[in-house]
Structure 1
């Protein structure tokens, strides 16, 4: 796979600004149970979303009197790990460094904008003579959802005061307390994957087998996951002809798995037991990017290309051709990732497609090929899932799943809710399992740099 191309696409396609203002959600809250390195519970921190800010209340016991640096760290792991500064294993090193979504790479004051300092930089915890520290503060540096979301990250309390300037952690010393920030009263389930470089982009569900399929954007490996037990097996090894990457996935009525091949410009069709049956190649060009596909009620498969302004069609006899040239239509291709997620309406009349770099969803008439803009402003919109007249949108960099209510003719949409689940890491695509949704936590923003959270995972959660 052309990884440098993918990095360029991510940098361009994720830089969109503006968007739809979502309606006020139900209050979000979370709790971190604070433990010492021996695992003893010695405090609690609570988080409550209040508009654009978060109210944080912390109580910790058994600390020395005076100031203690306090920060949100990147990973939701309160385990020992390597401190890069000393190359030694330290308590709570598994929490990683400070949460820094703006990539400031700078420790700063808790009031500093995130482009200048870590989003995880918080006020100090002041501890009294009795060894108990209590602190309540409001912050807009981090949130419980969105770009600065801290769900499933860690709150760490250090041994020393924070000077608010020295990298990487303000000379705050050892990590003495740690708690994972877990959303309150929310049922969800993870499906961990075994590989250290999985980057799961696509997901599809075969209800007859009770199996979820997910594919790696890094190497094209496809896994089969038992949706009931969570057991994972390798369905098809990556690197097969035409499949250096596996993006959008769909299961057809014959139980075959269709795979969008990304920068290779291919569509692969796999048998129910994982053998490659056929690889369809789109026309050669310098920049193909086959992103997603959908089985329509008319028996055809429709395929999006994120760089070339064309929608392809595969007929039931497995012949691929350009079905709709988008040049001169309302869908204007620009820099970055253009059309990606695609679904078909159950009446067989329309396709709905997401354009990531503009935030627009488009309705395409399968009879007349007329194109209508359904809704705009869904920046970083990636994969789609249509459930009746409800459209779910995985918004990768925004780290939420958005819910859009569609009109009877699918020609208009209203954003009604945004769901961060228990903390999403670049969600890419969605599948439905009964009354639940399953989303991939693709972490494609870490594909060319940074440290991904492992194990990679899919997350199953109730429809909302």
Structure 2
């Protein structure tokens, strides 16, 4: 990495070029994603402290990066610091630079996908500086500032995705070295970066400690269930009104963790217990029917489960190479020793999401750490690799021959088209919606889907989550 001082020599030229031309910086529910030939786009209406729209920023996906075009009016002449901030909120809040409540403080600190915790210039890679550190906006004597540039530090999708974050313009120039914001002063313009032509519905959750990993839908009740990965509480969300209530308090019969969730044909809620190594079953009122304990192990990780047409429930363990099965009488046994199959366990999260095929012949299982999708024959237990390339694949949802994969760290939902016998597949689309935060699992609600956004990456990094947590509902694509 070059030093900050050396990089600062080119920044004046970059900012000036941005004002007159272009520069490249290193570093409703019936939604249908645009064709691959049409790039993703987004805009931000820039507002002043009074809430008046006084400028616009436009963002267009360009390969792995994004083209940015900004015009803002009514500003003092000179250079102004400009950054992408963490949250999509142009509201008052605490500015970490001053630890006081300021206009647009609700946007949080600078977007930092590389978790560098360091303010730097637009040439710095995200490992060394905030991804949100942008060229300055240069304002002329007429009070209008314009900038146009391309940066690969940011994107409209994936780990560097800026959808549903904020673009903030400051009162002073940016020195590109002082933490946390380059001494760029007061926040004087702010706009939320919003994707155009897309309708989604969010279900906010009230508990800021919830980290909602699993989701399941009971069509008879019209209720979504989601569970906390940190305390085991199960919430019931009215799919029509969005009203949220506690269905089962965390800690019931030792349930401290809730990961994958499913509702069976009897309206029972099944819960994967993660490091507890358990499978918990609740009745339709939220009472615990049974807690099944897998064999003692120093590293259990029961991650997901699914009822199958054969009347059994199949359960993945992300650390132990085994698939468990729970029969109709709620007896749990080790069903398949994966050590004797082509599936090889390694460091990280192994088998995770699991679904049966509609014909009842196979299970499809996602291996998160390799990006491999597997097909398992329910009769013979034969295992076949369907495809690779689904890195960070987590929960699965099968709709006919369309398989939807929540890819947590990549912050997209991928659509895979499967062959007639589910022996092969091809990625057709990758959908970021209007900004996903570590999507984990999916469920179907009528012709729509709902995805969780548990932000487990922030939990693991010891960083505060973006609240409120939310489930997001969207149309099939």
| SS in structure 1 at match of 2:457 | helix
1:459 equivalenced with 2:449 (yes/no): no
| SS in structure 1 at match of 2:155 | coil
Per the TM alignment, residue 96 of structure 1 is displaced from its structure 2 partner at its CA by 0.9
Task: For 1:110-129, list aligned pairs within 5 A.
Answer: 110-129=122-141
Per the TM alignment, residue 25 of structure 1 is displaced from its structure 2 partner at its CA by 6.1
In the superposition, relative to structure 1, how do residues 247 and 25 fare at CA in structure 2: closer, same or farther (>3 Å)? farther
Give yes or no for contact 1:53–1:139 (8 Å, CA) kept in 2. Answer: yes
Question: Of 323, 347, 350, which residue of structure 2 is paired with 1:311?
Answer: 323
Task: For 1:162-201, list aligned pairs within 5 A.
Answer: 162-201=174-213
Deviates most, 398-407 or 34-43: 34-43
CA distance in 2 between partners of 1:462 and 1:140 (Å): 30
1:88 equivalenced with 2:100 (yes/no): yes
CA distance in 1 between partners of 2:122 and 2:131 (Å): 8
Counterpart of 1:133? Answer: 145
1:303-330 deviation line (CA, Å, top 9, x unaligned): 0001111000000011000000111210
Counterpart of 2:333? Answer: 321
CA distance in 2 between partners of 1:284 and 1:346 (Å): 34
CA distance in 1 between partners of 2:40 and 2:275 (Å): 39
CA distance in 1 between partners of 2:386 and 2:38 (Å): 26
In structure 2, list runs of 5 or more residues that go unmatched. 1-34
Counterpart of 2:433? Answer: 421
| SS in structure 2 at match of 1:428 | coil
In structure 1, list runs of 5 or more residues that go unmatched. 1-22
1:121-168 deviation line (CA, Å, top 9, x unaligned): 111111111111111111111000001000000000000111222221
Counterpart of 1:433? Answer: 445
Give yes or no for contact 1:214–1:222 (8 Å, CA) kept in 2. Answer: yes
1:221 equivalenced with 2:247 (yes/no): no
Per the TM alignment, residue 346 of structure 1 is displaced from its structure 2 partner at its CA by 1.0
Give yes or no for contact 1:162–1:171 (8 Å, CA) kept in 2. Answer: yes
1:334 equivalenced with 2:346 (yes/no): yes
CA distance in 1 between partners of 2:38 and 2:235 (Å): 35
CA distance in 2 between partners of 1:411 and 1:173 (Å): 58
Give yes or no for contact 2:365–2:374 (8 Å, CA) kept in 1. Answer: yes
Counterpart of 1:274? Answer: 286
| SS in structure 1 at match of 2:441 | strand
Task: For 1:100-115, list aligned pairs within 5 A.
Answer: 100-115=112-127
Task: For 1:295-374, list aligned pairs within 5 A.
Answer: 295-374=307-386
1:335-381 deviation line (CA, Å, top 9, x unaligned): 11110100000111000000111110100000000000001121111
Question: Of 446, 452, 455, which residue of structure 2 is paired with 1:443?
Answer: 455
Give yes or no for contact 2:96–2:109 (8 Å, CA) kept in 1. Answer: no
Alignment RMSD (CA, Å): 1.1
CA distance in 2 between partners of 1:283 and 1:384 (Å): 26
CA distance in 2 between partners of 1:454 and 1:72 (Å): 18
Deviates most, 177-186 or 75-84: 75-84
Counterpart of 1:15? Answer: none
Counterpart of 2:395? Answer: 383
Give yes or no for contact 2:280–2:292 (8 Å, CA) kept in 1. Answer: yes
1:43 equivalenced with 2:40 (yes/no): no
1:8-64 deviation line (CA, Å, top 9, x unaligned): xxxxxxxxxxxxxxx946421111111112212111111111222211111111110
Per the TM alignment, residue 334 of structure 1 is displaced from its structure 2 partner at its CA by 0.7
Counterpart of 1:16? Answer: none
| SS in structure 2 at match of 1:136 | strand
CA distance in 1 between partners of 2:458 and 2:122 (Å): 26
| SS in structure 1 at match of 2:440 | strand
1:53 equivalenced with 2:65 (yes/no): yes
CA distance in 2 between partners of 1:241 and 1:105 (Å): 40
> Normalized against structure 2, the TM-score is what?
0.91
Counterpart of 1:18? Answer: none
| SS in structure 2 at match of 1:241 | helix
In the superposition, relative to structure 1, how do residues 25 and 238 fare at CA in structure 2: closer, same or farther (>3 Å)? farther
| SS in structure 1 at match of 2:106 | helix
Counterpart of 1:148? Answer: 160
